[in-house]
A and B are shown apart, each in its own frame.
Chain A
């Protein structure tokens, strides 16, 4: 375990903890609101932000945050007007932002930066700046979720009652979209644009299978999220594999274990058995 004494490894483990936690918390709302495609869409759209940052010579974090926020708000605005379906809006932003990024990078002649790193992530290359920025932004996201816990829960469970109760539903929706966007931005350096949505959706979807209670689902999601990032990272170092894909594969494996352990699934099987017995008795 000498590897743990290296500064890059310590940074990687702290980063794994931060993004594992924040993605898992936001993922609970994404899964329960059926917004998995929005997560993937904003993540892919972030490529445009990365390209702008590289072109302008600015740290991509700043341009990607602005670009992802604009994308998230754009999706929210278009679907709010109801002239465009939400999934169509996501599809449009998803592809056009990536196309824009590829064109911009193509125009820059002699560009040598590690695009592969942005697409698939490299948690071992996380800098102190990346770490501090993800810590501050991640803490802000967790604080907003803690502060408006009840409001986000009601808005997620029954948006109509939230409106009837006079909650600022539009503001809550924009805030949620913004939190999804910044969560994606702080995670792409570690797991990459292509894979980040898995880190948001998979731990929460696994926790959903095992939970009958919202707080329990959130805690389980965090445990699975951090467990996946740590296990994936250590496995990737041990087996000399790419870190982002290893983390995602671990999370996916946990999902399937949860699926087969799921009480809902067991209950369904029990119900079917009981039904069979009843039919036989009749």
Chain B
């Protein structure tokens, strides 16, 4: 049985005349937890948006569940998407439960109202992210971490096989970020769905994921974090000398090595 959920083959994506992604090839298998890592402007979000069919590739292919993103049809119901936090207007007059229901829109069907089964799925998703008590709260009255979990509940309301998260910890402080990854790691083990998250937190993410894809427009390396995240990969990703601080075998944080030119630290596209 073919258990490939996402397949990228020689994928190139361009914005106007500039290449944003170059020759990306890798597969994500069912049940894996992948981190797409790289500095700002490395094309991580572009890759995610291409996978979702929001951007058309210049060349090469990407497929989800064996189909091109724009030909997914009913298979779209298998994909939960959690956008970047900054994209959402949390002042919108909407309560948590209704926002989560919107995530199930496609499954409910166009022109139809949510039925008992749909509300049950919404409540289950809220329970899964431990937000049942906050279901009637206006979304703007949630803390940063709660907002992020509400967005995840919205994606889970579809009961997806694949969950894709774009920079889920961008609005969280360091302590909350650690807690968030602990929680999502636990959720992944419980639900056994395929999980893909995009992040620039190389150090933190690599401790929780089962595989990483390191990007800097090109795929610098991909595979098991402990095997892939060596000095060479980090230099390829950041375009400068860099190294990991480790706690034993566990990568902890990326630091630039002394004497390097800081102007190259975070290449922006």
Chain A interface (Cβ < 8 Å from any Cβ of B):
32, 147-151, 153-154, 157-158, 160-167, 208, 211-214, 216-217, 264
A44 to B114, CA, bound (A): 39
Q: Is the CB of B76 within 8 A of A166?
A: yes
Q: Hey, which chain B residues are within 8 Å of A264, CB to CB? A: 91
Interface residues of B in 84-125 (CB under 8 A from A): 87-89, 91-95, 98-99, 101-103, 105-106, 108, 110-114
The answer to whether B83 touches A150, judged by C-beta atoms less than 8 angstroms apart, is no
Task: Tell me the nearest residue of chain A to B109, going by C-beta.
Answer: A150
B83, A161: Cβ atoms under 8 Å?
Answer: yes
Having A157-B88, A164-B81, one finds 7 other A-B pairs with CB under 8 Å, namely: A150-B101, A153-B102, A157-B92, A164-B76, A164-B79, A212-B138, A212-B140
Contact at A167–B83, with CB atoms within 8 Å? no
Residues of B within 8 A of A (CB): 52-54, 72-73, 76, 79, 81, 83, 87-89, 91-95, 98-99, 101-103, 105-106, 108, 110-114, 138, 140-141, 154
Q: Are A150 and B94 in contact (CB under 8 A)?
A: no
Q: Which residues of B contact A208 (CB under 8 A)?
A: 93
Cα A158 to Cα B105 with chains together (Å): 12
> Are B87 and A164 interface neighbours, CB within 8 A?
no
Chain B residues near A167 (CB, 8 Å)? Answer: 105-106, 110
What CA separation (Å) do A216 and B87 show in the bound complex?
24
Question: Are A150 and B93 interface neighbours, CB within 8 A?
Answer: no
* Secondary structure dominating the interface of A: helix
Report the Cα distance A157→B100, complex, angstroms.
12
Q: A211 CA to B187 CA in the complex, in Å?
A: 34
- Chain B residue with the shortest CB-CB distance to A158: B88
Alpha-carbon distance A2/B259, docked complex (angstroms): 90
Q: How far is the CA of A139 from the CA of B194 in the complex (A)?
A: 46
Shortest beta-carbon distance, A46 to chain B, in Å?
A: 30
In the bound assembly, the distance between CA atoms of A160 and B54 in angstroms comes to: 8
Instruction: Choose among B72, B76, B110, B114 the residue with the greatest number of A CB atoms under 10 Å from its CB.
Output: B110
Report whether A165 and B76 are in contact in the complex, using a CB–CB cutoff of 8 Å.
yes
Tell me whether B138 and A150 are in contact (CB under 8 A).
Answer: no
Report Cα–Cα, A264/B87, bound state, in Å: 21
Across the A-B interface, the 5 shortest Cβ-Cβ residue pairs: A212-B138, A165-B106, A211-B93, A217-B93, A154-B102
User: Are B102 and A161 in touch, CB under 8 angstroms?
Assistant: yes
Q: Is the CB of B92 within 8 A of A213?
A: no
Residues in B whose Cβ lies below 8 Å from that of A166:
72-73, 76, 106
Tell me, in angstroms, the Cα distance from A147 to B154 when the chains sit together.
Answer: 22
Minimum CB distance partner of A34 in chain B: B89
* In contact, B110 and A161 (Cβ under 8 angstroms): no
| Contact between A150 and B103, CB atoms less than 8 A apart | no
A-B contact list, 22 entries, CB within 8 Å? A147-B111, A148-B111, A149-B113, A150-B102, A151-B105, A154-B102, A157-B92, A157-B94, A157-B102, A158-B83, A158-B88, A158-B102, A160-B54, A160-B83, A161-B103, A162-B105, A164-B79, A165-B106, A166-B106, A212-B95, A213-B98, A214-B92
CA distance A208 to B111 in the complex (A): 25
C-alpha spacing A154/B141, complex, angstroms: 20
Assess A157 versus B99: contact at CB under 8 Å? Given A211-B93, A213-B93.
yes
Residues of A within 8 A of B108 (CB): 150
Q: Tell me the smallest distance from the CB of A213 to a CB of chain B, in Å.
A: 6
Tell me which residues across on chain B come within 8 A of A32, comparing CB atoms.
92-93
Query: Once the chains bind, are B110 and A151 in contact (CB under 8 Å)?
Result: yes
Q: Shortest CB–CB separation between residue B133 and chain A, in angstroms?
A: 17
Contact of A214 among B73, B98, B103, B154 (CB under 8 A): B98
A28 to chain B, nearest CB (A): 9
A157 proximity list for chain B (CB < 8 A): 88-89, 92, 94, 99, 102
B contact residues around A148 at 8 Å (CB): 110-111
Checking A147, A149, A160, A214 against B94 with a beta-carbon cut-off of 8 angstroms, the contacting residue is A214
Rounded to whole angstroms, the CA-CA distance of A32 and B52 in the bound complex is 26
Identity of the chain B residue whose Cβ is nearest the Cβ of A208 in the assembled complex: B93
Residues of A within 8 A of B106 (CB): 165-167
Q: Contact at A160–B87, with CB atoms within 8 Å?
A: yes
Q: Are A150 and B113 in contact (CB under 8 A)?
A: yes
Specify which of B93, B102, B103 is in contact with A216 (CB 8 Å cutoff): B93
Q: How far is the CB of B86 from chain A (nearest CB, A)?
A: 12
CB-nearest residue of chain B to A172: B110
Please tell me if the beta carbons of A165 and B105 are within 8 angstroms of each other in the complex: yes
Q: Tell me how far the C-beta of B73 lies from the nearest C-beta in chain A, rounded to whole angstroms.
A: 8
Q: How far is the CB of A141 from chain B (nearest CB, A)?
A: 16
- Give, as a whole number of angstroms, the nearest-CB distance from A190 to chain B: 28
CA distance A216 to B89 in the complex (A): 18
Cβ–Cβ < 8 Å partners of A216 in chain B: 93
A residues less than 8 Å from B101 (CB atoms): 150
The answer to whether B52 touches A164 (Cβ under 8 A) is: yes
Closest B residue to A210 by beta carbon equals B93
Residue of B nearest to A157 (CB): B92
